[in-house]
């Protein structure tokens, strides 16, 4: 199974595909599925700003569209265009809620500060998650 540094490398590759002409902030994500497959995502902005999709959600949308439902970890990297990454890019609130639809509190979120992995869990980033579906 891929390790955290390799997952970050995948997210860095995904970041190169970012469509972010409005914010000039490029984000990459790499989602590790329980079958070992890694699905990449990037942020895709729109002239109607509310139509923008974050990198994490685009990775999840691709994976879910392929029939995947079980996920182990996601790596997320982000920085302004042209900048060297030197701080973590934590997932936005909408992405935290989105991930909680498919992932439990132990789901690993691998961030990157430019030097190495910074590890979080979904439970740490979104305690007391709102769910309609009970304990499934
Ligand atoms: N962005 C992400 O892709 N993921 C996040 O969790 C935070 C924000 C993107 C959205 C937008 O294209 C740009 O970063 C600036 O907000």
Contacts of residue 113, defined as CB under 8 A and 6 or more positions apart, other chains included, come to 85, 86, 87, 88
Count the domains in the chain. Answer: 1
pLDDT of residue 136: 55
Q: Please, are residues 33 and 71 in contact by the beta-carbon 8 Å criterion?
A: yes
Nearest residue (by CA) to ligand 1, atom 3, is 54
Residue 93, pLDDT above cutoff 60: yes
Q: Is the pTM of this model over 0.85?
A: yes
Q: Which domain holds residue 41?
A: 4-125
- Where in the sequence numbering do the catalytic residues fall? 56
Exposed/middle/buried for 42, CB within 10 Å: 0-12, 13-18, 19+? Answer: buried
Is there a domain that residue 133 lies in?
Answer: no
pLDDT tens per residue, range 27-86:
999 999 999 999 999 999 999 999 999 999 999 999 999 999 999 999 999 999 999 999
Residue 135, pLDDT above cutoff 60: no
| Cα–Cα nearest to 14, from 27, 24, 3 | 27
Q: Which CATH number characterizes residue 106's domain?
A: 3.40.140.10
Is there a domain that residue 63 lies in?
Answer: yes
What is the best residue among 43, 49, 89 to mutate for testing ligand 1's pocket, by most ligand atoms within 8 Å of CB? 43
Is there a domain that residue 130 lies in?
Answer: no
pLDDT tens per residue, range 98-121:
999 999 999 999 999 999 999 999
CA distance 136 to 52: 30
Contacts of residue 116, defined as CB under 8 A and 6 or more positions apart, other chains included, come to 5
DSSP 84: P
pLDDT of residue 133: 67
Q: What SS3 class is residue 13?
A: helix
Residue with tokens 């409005």: 22
- For ligand 1, the distance from its centroid to the CA atom of residue 18, given in whole angstroms, is 10
As given in the structure block, the two tokens for residue 49 are: 């700003």
- For ligand 1, the distance from its centroid to the CA atom of residue 107, given in whole angstroms, is 20
Nearest residue (by CA) to ligand 1, atom 6, is 91
* Nearest atom of ligand 1 to the alpha carbon of 45: 12
Is there a domain that residue 131 lies in?
Answer: no
């Amino acid at each position: 199974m891929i390790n955290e540094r390799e997952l970050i490398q995948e997210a860095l590759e995904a970041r190169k595909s970012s469509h972010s002409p409005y914010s000039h902030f490029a984000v990459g994500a790499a989602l590790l599925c329980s079958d070992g497959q890694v699905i990449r995502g990037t942020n895709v902005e729109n002239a109607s700003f509310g139509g923008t999709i974050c990198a994490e959600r685009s990775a999840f949308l691709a994976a879910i569209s392929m029939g995947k439902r079980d996920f182990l970890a996601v790596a997320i990297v982000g920085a302004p265009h042209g900048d060297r990454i030197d701080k973590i890019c934590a997932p936005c609130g909408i992405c935290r809620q989105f991930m909680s639809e498919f992932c439990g509190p132990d789901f690993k979120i691998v961030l990157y500060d430019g030097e190495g992995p910074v590890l979080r869990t979904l439970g740490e980033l979104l305690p007391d998650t709102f769910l309609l579906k009970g304990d499934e």
